Structure 1
Amino acid sequence: MHRARPQWGAAALRSVVGSRRYWRTVGQPEGIVSEQDTDHHFVHRSTIPTIHFQPSLPRLPIPKLEDTITRYLAAQKPLLNDEEYRNTEQLAREFETGEGKIIHRDLLEHDRINKHTSYISGPWFDMYLSARDPIVFNYNPFITLNPDPKPGYNSQIVRATNLVVSSLKFLNSLKNDYLRPDIYYVNRKWGQSKLFKHFIRILPPTLSWYGAYLVNAYPLDMSQYKSLFNSTRIPNLSKDTLFTSEFARHLLVMRNGHFYVFEVLDPFGNILHPSEIQAHLTQIIHDADRLPGFELSYLTTEDRNTWATIRQQLVQKGNEENLKKIDSAVFCLCLDKASPKNEIELTHCFLHGYGFNRWFDKSFSLIITSDGTAGINFEHSWGDGIAVLRFINEVYRDSTEHPALVPQSSPAFFVTSCDKLEFHMGRTITSAISAARKKFDEKRKKFCVRTFRHERFGKQFIINQKLSPDAVFQLACQMAVYHLYGKLRPSYEACSTAAFKHGRTETIRPTSVYTKKCTVAFIDQRGMHSIEDMRNMIDECSKYHRRLQLEATLGQGFDRHLFALKHLVQRRGGRIPDIYNDPAYKNINHIIISSSTLGSQAVNHGGFGPVVPDGFGVGYNVFDNWIGCIITSYLDKDSEELIKYLEYTLNDIFDILEGRSLM
């Protein structure tokens, strides 16, 4: 039988700071936390400081130009006919031996004099922040959490309070350098070794990475974490900016489109008592539900130049302080009235909602529906999924294992009122909100979501076949696309390069000569090959995909390198080389299948929008005994067809692996 962890009241007393009650250990000065009290303020206290490895992390390598061109051509070959490929190969080789050689040399020199960062970091920020499309649908992904395993803890207020408290504990751990560093252990025993941790701790930060490397442990970059809290993307004409406040201690809560703020931390990092957080959230729901919906936040769904112009008008109308409170808030908590009934409704809710109960510019928003379903919607320019996933894992574990509230908890009787943000708006701003709502609603109606679940096999079966689970799913996607279009189309799989200082992501290109050969054998030449030959083709696809994964993880893909070379030319105002004007280059970057996977005990599912109007966003996971994905698109009929063919091709792959011929 589960026993709830003793509540904070058992070992703490109330400290009145500015008429707010915070928690600290009995008989202890404010701001000083004892070892026994760590669970009240931190998710944990790491032996190794959080950023201990940052100074010694290896730098993201710039691939050799000849390797990049070779990889680029290998990715182009299955997408082009012979004549198209010859033309593309000629342009690529001319670039390699001509102007590309000079630009590459300049990129190496630029990288040499900027050793504090990576060659891709600046261009990647520019790419995101210069994009003028709305960030909702196009950029912001979402991840939903599994329910709390104890059903009674899934009511909206209880779960929201527990997740808010655990999020603040994560923030305190991060700020105090207590959060465990992200480390990939080849041998997990070192992650549990106290001797190893103490040895690493005494090493100077400039040498710490090498100490971990000695035991095949690989620390990861954690520079993105500084933008996780108190951060917002600010719209500006031409290029947005990222804003982070170091000192703000208030939480932003949205309900029915209305904005409320209240302080959740005191100046020493002590967290507001859970019963008071509970009371504030109860008050907010009661107050907001008596009011008509407030639609200001529709503006964050607009294209960035339009939103930048209207935001400036909001400032001129005297709303600057309110906007600062939104921008600087620890994070945004969205308390939704909705109660999604299935995964499709859940995806719509967490990816875009109804537009007016989200501030999509916040670094992340914690969303809790009326039935206690929880998840994250995050702005993508500041960071990638790996940082958000670590946050989710820690917060889910802490909130379920050490809940701040039990279902029977009563809210505090006497709490100061939280501040409701009131805005001054004229006719121009009101009209802009109406226009934003109309555009958002039109986009939402066209946006379709489909879910897929295949239960004949999963990760365990594939591993027993000595194959890569990721490769098998990607191969099935290639076959499904071929069924749908009669040819292979450009595909993309995201891969983190967090093993390097300021690494972001690299692209895995799942479409290859191996997947093309296998696809043609399964579809166009069905029944013409032996079971053994077809099994060997699957093996070849798996081996090549593993190679692509390894190259991308080590920063040895081609996409980021070619992107950085082009960015360098554009920044200097030079002529764009012919390789970038090649229709084949534009085609390979018109991504029809954009895919990503996240695996975690805390995660229910996740997803994102397609990156092109005629494409698909595929968020997938290969579980132990089944395979699931969420597919987003603006092509309703094609989405249905894609799922039908995905089921069909996974069945074909399973039959071959089981030694059965295709019917």
Structure 2
Amino acid sequence: MLHGGGSHANSGNRWFDKTLQFVVGEDGTCGLIYDQATADASAVLRMLRHVLDYCSRGPSLLPPRTPITRVPPPRKLYFNFPPEAKQHVEQAKQNLDMLVNDLDICCFTFTDFGKKFPQKHNLSPGAFQQISLQLAYYRLHGSLCATCEGVSLRVFHQGRLDVVRCSSPEALEFVQAADDPSKSAEEKLALMLRAIQSHQTAREQVLQGQSIDGTILALKMLCISSGLALPTLLMDTSYAVSSHWKLFTGQVASPMDCVMCYGPLVPDGYSACFSPVSG
């Protein structure tokens, strides 16, 4: 799933299984937790689709089961940890609790309209959603922030993810005009269409491997691996601010009734994972 084949695929899959946890609640609700450093959301969703398809075949279509054998009941294992190890475990638990308590998750379904609405007007549903997020952030905070959209580069050999910069001059001009009573509806519509087109153009450039951030990141990693000083650009305050992603977004389309969530990239930020549906 993660690699082309051969021994690399086997080692990759073993690494993938070790970093994925299935969680099943008492009421039958199920989900999974995984590290995105191992696999992108599209690969995980493909695996989930395979599991659900396998389960939907029914008992008659499943392979014959081996005879049921009685096994002894599970036995609780007791471990004797040295004091130093116990201290590290307790510290890890406290750190995890701090992260959990500092994160708020809200999952909901927007029912007013779906992706057919922007498509009806020849607009990209994803770009339409991105500009909507820019407007929502502006209405909350009175300004825009560094925003990125994660996109897949799986069309390239060993491609993973890259980011599209969503907060553009065109987006700022639209959100400033959206609630301005002196602007006409026609002016606001024209600015919105311009912002959507700007985002779509930027996204297409990244999908073609022309990402600015990807190039700068490659330069940074080459300097670090070679023991060279970082370029002045990477030490500039403006670059640090423009890369402090307060709004991390991503479109994860899924044919199944499931919700994909991930946390923000920075302590004072948000993440928005969405899946446009028909309607």
TM-score, length-scaled by structure 1: 0.39
Give a deviation string over 1:532-573, Cα, whole Å, max 9, x none: 222222222222222222212121111111000111112111
1:522 aligns with 178
Greater C-alpha radius of gyration = 1
Counterparts of 2:60 and 2:226, CA distance in 1: 54
Please say if residues 518 and 537 of structure 1, whose CA atoms lie closer than 8 Å, have aligned partners that are also in contact.
yes
Counterparts of 2:59 and 2:209, CA distance in 1: 40
2:191 aligns with 537
Going from structure 1 to structure 2, the CA distance change for 1:380 and 1:483 (only over 3 Å counts) comes to: same
SS of 1:431's equivalent?
A: helix
Shift of 1:444: 2.1
SS of 2:253's equivalent?
A: coil
2:14 aligns with one of 230, 255, 258: 230
SS of 1:449's equivalent?
A: coil
2:19 aligns with 363
Going from structure 1 to structure 2, the CA distance change for 1:546 and 1:375 (only over 3 Å counts) comes to: same
Matched, 1:412 2:68: yes
Matched, 1:483 2:139: yes
Which one-letter code corresponds to 1:617 in the other structure? S
Matched, 1:588 2:242: yes
* Structure 1 segment 167-206 matched on structure 2, within 5 A: none
Shift of 1:416: 6.6
Which one-letter code corresponds to 2:221 in the other structure? H
Shift of 1:463: 0.6
Counterparts of 1:504 and 1:404, CA distance in 2: 39
* Structure 1 segment 428-507 matched on structure 2, within 5 A: 428-507=84-163
2:212 aligns with 558
1:394 aligns with 50
SS of 2:275's equivalent?
A: strand
Counterparts of 2:200 and 2:226, CA distance in 1: 37
SS of 1:367's equivalent?
A: strand
Aligned residues: 276
Going from structure 1 to structure 2, the CA distance change for 1:386 and 1:399 (only over 3 Å counts) comes to: same
Please say if residues 254 and 275 of structure 2, whose CA atoms lie closer than 8 Å, have aligned partners that are also in contact.
no
SS of 1:441's equivalent?
A: helix
SS of 1:606's equivalent?
A: coil
Please say if residues 228 and 363 of structure 1, whose CA atoms lie closer than 8 Å, have aligned partners that are also in contact.
no
Shift of 1:519: 0.8
1:188 aligns with none
TM-score, length-scaled by structure 2: 0.88
Counterparts of 1:493 and 1:603, CA distance in 2: 23
Shift of 1:404: 8.1
Matched, 1:612 2:266: yes
Shift of 1:491: 0.4
Shift of 1:474: 0.9
Shift of 1:483: 1.5
Going from structure 1 to structure 2, the CA distance change for 1:363 and 1:623 (only over 3 Å counts) comes to: same
Please say if residues 228 and 364 of structure 1, whose CA atoms lie closer than 8 Å, have aligned partners that are also in contact.
no
2:82 aligns with 426
What CA RMSD, in Å, does the superposition of the two structures yield over aligned residues? Answer: 2.9
Counterparts of 2:128 and 2:154, CA distance in 1: 25
Counterparts of 1:420 and 1:386, CA distance in 2: 38
Going from structure 1 to structure 2, the CA distance change for 1:500 and 1:366 (only over 3 Å counts) comes to: same
1:372 aligns with 28
Q: Which runs of 5+ in 2 are unaligned?
A: none
Please say if residues 114 and 277 of structure 2, whose CA atoms lie closer than 8 Å, have aligned partners that are also in contact.
yes
Counterparts of 1:461 and 1:393, CA distance in 2: 27
Which one-letter code corresponds to 2:15 in the other structure? S
SS of 1:386's equivalent?
A: helix
Shift of 1:462: 1.3
Matched, 1:597 2:225: no
1:353 aligns with none
Give a deviation string over 1:195-238, Cα, whole Å, max 9, x none: xxxxxxxxxxxxxxxxxxxxxxxxxxxx7x54553227xxxxxx
Please say if residues 114 and 276 of structure 2, whose CA atoms lie closer than 8 Å, have aligned partners that are also in contact.
yes
Counterparts of 1:435 and 1:471, CA distance in 2: 43
Q: Which has the higher contact order (CA 8 A, sep 6+)?
A: 1
SS of 2:158's equivalent?
A: coil
Counterparts of 1:421 and 1:549, CA distance in 2: 52
Please say if residues 227 and 382 of structure 1, whose CA atoms lie closer than 8 Å, have aligned partners that are also in contact.
no
SS of 2:148's equivalent?
A: strand
Shift of 1:396: 1.7
Going from structure 1 to structure 2, the CA distance change for 1:439 and 1:391 (only over 3 Å counts) comes to: same
Matched, 1:381 2:165: no
Counterparts of 1:419 and 1:390, CA distance in 2: 36
Which one-letter code corresponds to 1:531 in the other structure? A
Please say if residues 397 and 602 of structure 1, whose CA atoms lie closer than 8 Å, have aligned partners that are also in contact.
no
Give a deviation string over 1:77-113, Cα, whole Å, max 9, x none: xxxxxxxxxxxxxxxxxxxxxxxxxxxxxxxxxxxxx
Give a deviation string over 1:262-316, Cα, whole Å, max 9, x none: xxxxxxxxxxxxxxxxxxxxxxxxxxxxxxxxxxxxxxxxxxxxxxxxxxxxxxx
Please say if residues 393 and 602 of structure 1, whose CA atoms lie closer than 8 Å, have aligned partners that are also in contact.
yes
Please say if residues 227 and 363 of structure 1, whose CA atoms lie closer than 8 Å, have aligned partners that are also in contact.
no
Going from structure 1 to structure 2, the CA distance change for 1:403 and 1:385 (only over 3 Å counts) comes to: farther
Give a deviation string over 1:486-518, Cα, whole Å, max 9, x none: 111000110011111111111111111211111
Please say if residues 145 and 246 of structure 2, whose CA atoms lie closer than 8 Å, have aligned partners that are also in contact.
yes
* Structure 1 segment 557-576 matched on structure 2, within 5 A: 557-576=211-230
SS of 1:383's equivalent?
A: coil
Give a deviation string over 1:602-660, Cα, whole Å, max 9, x none: 241011111111001211122213xxxxxxxxxxxxxxxxxxxxxxxxxxxxxxxxxxx
Counterparts of 1:599 and 1:401, CA distance in 2: 24
1:151 aligns with none
* Structure 1 segment 21-420 matched on structure 2, within 5 A: 54=4, 226=10, 229-231=13-15, 331=17, 362-402=18-58, 412-415=68-71
Give a deviation string over 1:49-101, Cα, whole Å, max 9, x none: x89x95xxxxxxxxxxxxxxxxxxxxxxxxxxxxxxxxxxxxxxxxxxxxxxx
Counterparts of 1:384 and 1:227, CA distance in 2: 17
Going from structure 1 to structure 2, the CA distance change for 1:419 and 1:553 (only over 3 Å counts) comes to: farther
